[in-house]
Amino acid sequence: MNEIITLLQNHRSIRKFTDQPVSEVQLNAILAAAQAASTSSNMQAYSFIHVTDKGLKSQLAALAGNQPYVSECPLFLVWCGDLHRYAQAVHRHGDTPVTGNAENFIVATVDAALAAQNAAIAAESLGLGVVFIGGLRNKPAEVSQLLGLPQLVYPVFGMCIGMPDQEPLQRPRLPREAVYHENRYTDNPVAVDVYDESIRDYMKVRTDGKVDTTWSKEMAAKAQRPREHMKAFLSEQGFLVE
């Protein structure tokens, strides 16, 4: 074990922050770490938008499902899959068309996620807390309009960063045998049963016995909210058109 592994294993989402601002030095370190992330073929197919305007943060909080910590956090970043800059580079050397086909869409999404995870780890190493905001995909067209996103750019998720003002329980993860396979995929439905009980115990402690639920029940509820609008939105932005 070392400090980095300990840091990674202690991760938890923070949704309540103090008023202490994130300093310019901290911000620069976080963003430098993000840009040092691995990237497919050096495309660096992502952008991040630092939202400093309070009114804009409030609008994004509402679009993300009325999550107050989006407007309250000291630092809010929106991570985007970005092929717009890639297209600009390609067009400097001819008229080769650039599309957001399935491969390029995957590259942009993965690049954004890798950069954001680097940023999250850097922030936590500085004593800050983070939470990812996938709720921006509830209203991606409206988010894109507010942020002025051009074609071939889309909001993957947001990220709140700040000094933690809470010490939440660490949510248990699936048993390793559910996600770890050797040589070929092996189905292990029993692991879900085991995890259901772990989540039930966790939720009872977290809510002082007010909530009795399981992972599979939460996943069943999520399956009823599929965000099917994303396909049409991505097509309008130039992705997955082939």
Query: Per-10-residue mean pLDDT for the chain, 242 residues long?
Result: 95 98 98 98 98 98 97 98 97 91 97 98 98 98 98 98 97 96 95 96 96 97 96 96 78
pTM: 0.95
Q: How far is CA 116 from the centre of its chain?
A: 7
Helix-, strand-, coil-residue percentages of the chain, each rounded to 5: 50, 15, 35
pLDDT attached to residue 125: 98
Alpha-carbon Rg for the chain in angstroms: 20
CA-based nearest residue to 39, from 149, 125, 113: 113
- Count of positions (residues) in the chain: 242
Asked if residue 58 lies in contact with residue 71, where contact means CB atoms within 8 angstroms, the answer is yes
Residue-level pLDDT at 1: 83
What is the predicted pLDDT for the residue at 241? 84
Q: What one-character DSSP code corresponds to residue 70?
A: H
- In the chain, what are the domain boundaries? 3-168, 169-225
Domain at 3-168, CATH from 3.40.190.10, 1.50.10.20, 3.40.109.10, 3.20.20.70:
3.40.109.10
Question: Which uninterrupted H or E stretch holds 155?
Answer: strand 153-162
Q: What is the pLDDT of residue 109?
A: 98
Contacts for 209-212 with beta carbons within 8 Å, 24 or more apart? none
pLDDT value, residue 88: 96
| pLDDT value of residue 97 | 86
